[in-house]
Every structure is written in C-alpha cells, then in structure tokens.
Structure 1
Amino acid sequence: MPTLLALYAHPDDEAFSGGVLAHYAKLGVDVHLICATRGESGKITDPSLSHITDLGAQREQELRDSCKALGIHGPIFLGYHDSGRFERTQNENSNAFMHQDIFEVEAKLRPYIEELQPDILVTFDPHGGYGHIDHLIIHRAVTALFYSSGTPKRLFYNVMPIAFSERMAQSGINQNLDPKVYGVTDATIAVRLNVAHVLDQKMASMQSHKSQMGANSRFAQMPPEYIQQMQEGMKWEHFALGGTRTPIHTFPLKGLFDGLGYDFD
C-alpha cells in the first residue's frame, strides 16, 4: 500500500497540507501524521474555552478530531513540550522542543520510518512556514531523517508562492514577514495540487482546532476581503522537493507520487 507520512510540530500544523492529506487518503493511500508536541503553549482564542486548564489535552483531542475530518490515521505524538512564541516562549523548560538535540529527535523518529515504510515524507520548508522555532526543529530533523533512513522515496516541503505570501502580508496575518523570504518562486514549486474537491474536509479539519480558531484568532480578525482571498488560496497546495531517491521524469510533478508506479498522479 502506498504510504505518506506528514511530520509537524503542533496540532493545527497539518492545515499546511490538509488538502493533500485528505486527497491521498481518498485515493487509498495510507496517510499518517506525527506531531512533536501537544501545543501546550498555544493561546486560547475562543472565549467559550477560557475555563480550560489543560490546553495540551484540549489540543490533542482537537488534532484527533482534525485527523478524523481528513480521513487519515490518528496522530502519533512524540511527547515534547510546545516551545511557544513571544511572551509564551518556554526558555526555562528543558523539555521544550526548541531545546532538543536535532540528532536525538531524528533518532526518535527513525523507528516510525522502519514501522510505516513511507514512500513520501512531508514537512515544513527551511523557513518553517513563518519562522517558528519548533517548525525549524522538525524541518531539520525530518530532512536529516530522510537522508539517514534510506527508505522514503521522496521528501516534500509545503511552501507558499511569493504571490500568496504577499497577500498574507497585506492582510497582516504573517506578522510582517518578508514575502520574498518566506515565499518561494514558481520555479521552486515541484507540485501544485488543486484540493478544491476536499476543501470541505480541509475546512472541517481547521475548525476542529477550536482553541486556536476562535473569535480572537488572527484569522477571525482578518478583513473580509482577505478572508475571501485566503479561502480561494486554500483550494491549492504547493510543495517543493526536499529530496528524492527516484528519477524525476518531468518537472513540475503532477503529484507527490508521480512516477512511482501507482495508478494515480
């Protein structure tokens, strides 16, 4: 059975490739998700959830609900602590993901490669989407894992085209990040996949993260015109090629499995 393994840092990170995960699950691909932390240092943005005292447990359940919406296997948690951001940064927490040795994280991931035998790995790009330290840690560990494990056929990074990154900058949601740094040129994109047919699943997945998608979230506070643009943008997902053990006969590829001998892509 063809197998895809996505590896991210926090519950809700799977939104970066939720359409692709749902798309391939519908095609019969065995889709798995590894999450390094339980998102304990997030910020509750839904006032109705302000009573929650164990945010990690809440976000763990939200991720389980998200995986169910996407039609993929339930998440595998590595057990690290969310490093947080800004005033919530866990500088003194030795279990925070930001303080972990990347080689040890790589070693902790290797048994899952041996067990699942994935054809495809998907994770963050070298800028971690928007520079979160935990995103950078998982990117580096997964990239090292691809090269040391010798098993997965391809490694992909989810990326944003510069044009989309510029729209994000205009909306204010990207926290003043330079689009030319955090976006990529069209020539960098190896796979551009239309996921409009699973958009309902992708939206249901995102809405599963109630604590992060509430009325006080950055998304909810975006101007209506940018929300509409973002929803249009979510019909497409983009990936750069991080590594391959198979020939690439055409570029860009039709999909993540293009040329691997399966009857899709």
Structure 2
Amino acid sequence: MSTIVFLHAHPDDEASQTSATMRLAADAGHRVVCVYATNGDHGTVPADLREGETVVDRRRAEAQASAVALGTARVVWLGYADSGMTGWEQNSHEQSFHACSTDEAAARLARVLDEEDADVVVGYDWHGGYGHPDHVKVHAVVHRVAELAARRPRLLEATMNRDHLRRMFEAATAAGMAPEDADWDPDAPADDGNPVGTPEAEIHWHVDARPVLAAKRAALSAHASQEDVGWMLGMPDEQFAAAFGDEWFIEPGREPGMTDGHPVG
C-alpha cells in the first residue's frame, strides 16, 4: 500500500478537485494525507460564527469533517495566510502563501513527506487550473518538495480537462440547459490570462468519480459555510455528476496518452 500526500491551497479545494481520488485511494487501503497551504482566512465569513470563533476556526473544523467523509488519515496545516485573488493587496502580505519563499514552504511540506515516508505527492498544474496565486504556488512547492524529500516521491498534478469542459458546455447549450446569456468559454483568459485547465492531450490520468460521488458531495457539504460551495451543492444529482464526476491528473515525465483508472492502483 502507498502513502499519498495531497497539497491543497485552501480548505474546500480538496472537496471540489480531488476528493473522489482521495476516497477511492482510502477505500483501496492507501494512506491519504491532506495538507493545506493556507488557513482559508479570506473565505466567506459565516453568518453563524459563535462568540470567539474565527473564520479560520470554522474552516479548520470543516476540513476535519471533510477528512472524515473522505477517509483521510491525517490533516496538516502549513500555516500560511490566504493570498486572495490575482491583484489583491493580500498577494504581497508578508504571511501570505503567494509571497512566501518556495524553498521555505517546500521544506515544511518535506517534513510531512519524510514523516509519512510518502510514495506520492499531489499538487496542481503549472497555472493552478485557473491562475489563483495560491494554486500557482502549490505547483511550485510540490515540484520543489519532490527534490527535497528524503524519499523522492512520484509527482502528480491535479488539473481540469479543458476539452471536456468545452464539450460539456456545448452539450448543455444544445440541450437548452445553459442560460441564454451565458458566454463562458474555457479557452478564454482566466484569472491569470491563461485558459482554464489543460488540453486533454496533455493529461495522463482520468479518474471516474461517479462510484464515490456521495462522498464527494459529503466533503463539499462539510464546507457549507463557503459561498462558492453553495451553488455546487445546489446542483441536481444528474448535473452534479456531469460537473464533478471526473477528476484529471498530469504526471510529469510520463509518456503522452491518457489512462482511465486511479493513478495509484
């Protein structure tokens, strides 16, 4: 059995991006560890915060609940501040993940990998899927940690399949399910000026999330305080399966060609 360490930028990113892969790995007997780079302190402020409770307190509790839903064996916090979206003043805050030393963050993560004797580390593609500064930083940190860890881990990058997104949107438009004024285009510039995700030809692994969609929905429900999670949870089952029924990974250095199946057998 393998130990797989997932580095995510914020609490709730694991739920929307890799939760099915995590649940399937745990079900197969692998040890799953989830590391959060930031505390998610610039997330939605819940209206029901208790006296003395902070946004960080709530988001940490939600992350633990998500871990239960996914069979995650350990949750670790690197302790950086959320950097906000591209261009926000928080990008340059001295405690932000975006502004931190890549070597420093990688050293913190390397300690986790060494403690776990990790076989696999999972981060994001080169532009973090859609250009969020913290997501881009995750990419840099996991590539650096692959060089620093005592046992050189296998490296995977979670991504979005741009061609799949385009096909889904075109099908929804043809079926009259997309709003008439919808002008979303996965090939258009995202937060950092690059298109969303990765072309299908550059992706190596496709994971069918449908067998564990209930766990994926449960992980998202654990983060219900966050506004952007609300619209995901509001999807009917069929629409939810179409939107979140697939997870995609790049394996740097692997020969071209996509394989259907879990990247950690």
Q: C-alpha displacement at 1:159, in angstroms?
A: 1.2
**Greater mean alpha carbon deviation, residues 20-29 or residues 229-238:** 229-238
Cα distance per residue 1:117-145 (max 9 Å; x no partner): 11111111111122111111121011111
For residues 129 and 52 of structure 1, what CA distance do their matches in structure 2 show?
Answer: 35
TM alignment of 1:126-145, pairs within 5 A: 126-145=126-145
* Residue in structure 1 matched with residue 203 of structure 2 by the alignment: 189
Q: C-alpha displacement at 1:195, in angstroms?
A: 1.9
- 1:235 corresponds to 2:245: yes
Q: C-alpha displacement at 1:181, in angstroms?
A: 2.4
Specify the SS of the correspondent of 1:76.
strand
Residues 50 and 229 (structure 1 numbering): CA distance in 2 closer, same or farther, change over 3 Å?
farther
Q: Aligned-pair RMSD on alpha carbons?
A: 3.3
For residues 51 and 163 of structure 2, what CA distance do their matches in structure 1 show?
Answer: 40
* Residue in structure 2 matched with residue 199 of structure 1 by the alignment: 213
Specify the SS of the correspondent of 1:79.
strand
Q: How many residues align?
A: 249
For residues 199 and 148 of structure 1, what CA distance do their matches in structure 2 show?
Answer: 35
Residues 91 and 26 (structure 1 numbering): CA distance in 2 closer, same or farther, change over 3 Å?
closer
* Residue in structure 2 matched with residue 73 of structure 1 by the alignment: 73
Specify the SS of the correspondent of 1:187.
helix
* Residue in structure 1 matched with residue 225 of structure 2 by the alignment: 211
* Paired amino acid for 2:33: H
- Check the 8 A contact 1:191/1:252 in 2, yes or no: yes
- Check the 8 A contact 1:171/1:223 in 2, yes or no: no
Cα distance per residue 1:101-130 (max 9 Å; x no partner): 111111222111211111111111111122
For residues 98 and 149 of structure 2, what CA distance do their matches in structure 1 show?
Answer: 23
- 1:12 corresponds to 2:19: no
TM alignment of 1:68-217, pairs within 5 A: 68-85=68-85, 89-91=89-91, 93-149=93-149, 151-166=151-166, 167=168, 177-178=189-190, 181-213=195-227, 217=228
TM-score by length of 2: 0.80
Q: What are the ranges of 5 or more consecutive residues in structure 1 without an aligned counterpart?
A: 258-264
TM-score by length of 1: 0.80
* Paired amino acid for 1:195: A
